[in-house]
Chain A
Amino acid sequence: MMRCEDVRELIPWYVEGSLDAEEARAVAGHVAACEACVREVAAALRMRTEVRNALDGLPRLSEKTWVRIRERTGGRSIARIDVGSFLLGFRLGASVVRGGVPMRGDLQVLGQNIKLFERRRGGSR
């Protein structure tokens, strides 16, 4: 039988379900027979829920983050014309590599990406 102290150390991972099977069985066996540790399980579950809710509630990334990443990976965006204000969700994008060769162009209509052209890095295809 495990001691309360050893069980309590493991309870956060027990409620998360990330203990290996043997440890999980040992913790479950102890908790089933120990009222004090049951309360610890309840507290850990509450904490898990609170932490997840709090982090899930953070505002999501804006599309700008992706645009900046694209500028640093596929090439620089040279023509991103955003006319969303009068044509809902319409956007035209094109990227070039430093040599001026177009890598990719796409048209976004109502959130849907329509590829105009694309070249893979490294040439052919």
Chain B
Amino acid sequence: MAGWAESDAGAAELEDRRLLARVARGDEDSLRVFYDRFAERVLRYAYTLLHRRHLAEDVVQETMVAVWNGAGRFGGRSKVSTWVFGIARHRALDLLRREIRGERVPDVPLTLPDPAPAVERREHVLSALSSLPEDQREVVFLTFYEGLSYKEIAAALAIPEGTVKSRMFHAKRKLAEALT
């Protein structure tokens, strides 16, 4: 089973690299394909960090422009996704700092049109997530949405593995309380 997952992941990574090489040569169609593979994921990562929809969309935009301009500088030392999320993280934290300094207009909270129980539940979960410190929700996102191992998260965030585990430990406890 692990073998399947690994070869799937390996194929996806190869495809990401091929695309990025074409983007580096200025191929716009490849940028579009790259966008289709990453934009929604980057949006959710940024949303996890910022909890503001319009800022999260800005992060997607800034990240994709940075990918276009910087594709040639991808060194291949990490997975493409780790590289992309690293850019997104940088942009997100930058926007967050600017917003804290009051340079940006605060967003209206995200409201979803359909008040069905499933939607209410999702909103409840999102608000529970947003109540966690940012470094904890980031680990939750990378673990459960992006499927990164704790070792990959430690490498991506440049923190010790023990720190990743303890952030998750605290996040899990707080989320369990909020979600019962």
B129 contacts A51, C-beta separation under 8 Å:
yes
Chain B residue with minimal CB distance to A57?
A: B122
Shortest beta-carbon distance, B132 to chain A, in Å? 11
| B17 on the A face (CB < 8 A) | no
Q: How far is the CB of B150 from chain A (nearest CB, A)?
A: 5
Chain B residue at smallest Cβ distance from A49: B144
Interface assignment of A35: CB less than 8 Å from any CB of chain B: no
Whether B144 pairs with A72 at a CB distance below 8 angstroms is no
Is A53's CB within 8 Å of the partner chain B? yes
Question: In the complex, A47 Cα to B121 Cα: how many Å?
Answer: 12
Decide if B60 touches A65 in the complex (CB within 8 Å). yes
Taken together as a complex, chains A and B put the C-alpha atoms of A123 and B89 apart, in Å, by: 34
Q: Does B159 contact A (CB under 8 A)?
A: no
Interface size on B, residues (CB 8 A): 50
* Count of chain A residues with a beta carbon within 8 Å of a chain B beta carbon: 42
Q: How far is the CB of A63 from the nearest CB of chain B, in Å? A: 11
A104 and B28 alpha carbons, distance in the complex (Å): 10
In the complex, A57 Cα to B124 Cα: how many Å?
12
The answer to whether B5 and A17 touch across the interface, beta carbons within 8 angstroms, is yes
Q: Is the CB of A44 within 8 A of B172?
A: yes
List residues of A (34-71) whose CB comes within 8 Å of B's CBs: 43-44, 46-48, 50-55, 57-61, 65-66, 68-70
Mark out the residues of chain B between 18 and 53 whose CB falls within 8 Å of any chain A CB in the assembled complex: 25-28, 31-32, 35, 39-40, 43-44, 47-48, 53
- Given A16-B143, A66-B35, A103-B28, 10 extra CB contacts under 8 A: A12-B168, A24-B2, A47-B176, A53-B125, A54-B126, A54-B129, A58-B53, A118-B28, A120-B26, A121-B28
Q: Which residues of A contact B (CB under 8 A)?
A: 8-10, 12-13, 16-21, 24, 43-44, 46-48, 50-55, 57-61, 65-66, 68-70, 72-74, 103-104, 118, 120-122
User: Which residues from chain B sit less than 8 Å from chain A, CB to CB?
Assistant: 1-2, 5, 25-28, 31-32, 35, 39-40, 43-44, 47-48, 53, 57, 60-61, 64-65, 68, 110, 112, 118-119, 121-123, 125-126, 129, 140-141, 143-145, 147-150, 152, 165, 168-169, 172, 175-176, 179
Offer 27 A-B interface pairs, CB within 8 angstroms, sorted by A.
Answer: A12-B143, A13-B143, A16-B147, A17-B2, A18-B150, A18-B152, A20-B149, A21-B2, A24-B2, A50-B125, A51-B144, A53-B122, A54-B126, A54-B129, A55-B145, A59-B53, A59-B112, A61-B43, A68-B61, A69-B31, A72-B61, A72-B65, A103-B28, A104-B28, A120-B27, A121-B28, A122-B25
Give 7 nearest A-B pairs by CB, closest first.
A121-B26, A54-B125, A18-B149, A57-B122, A54-B122, A73-B68, A9-B165
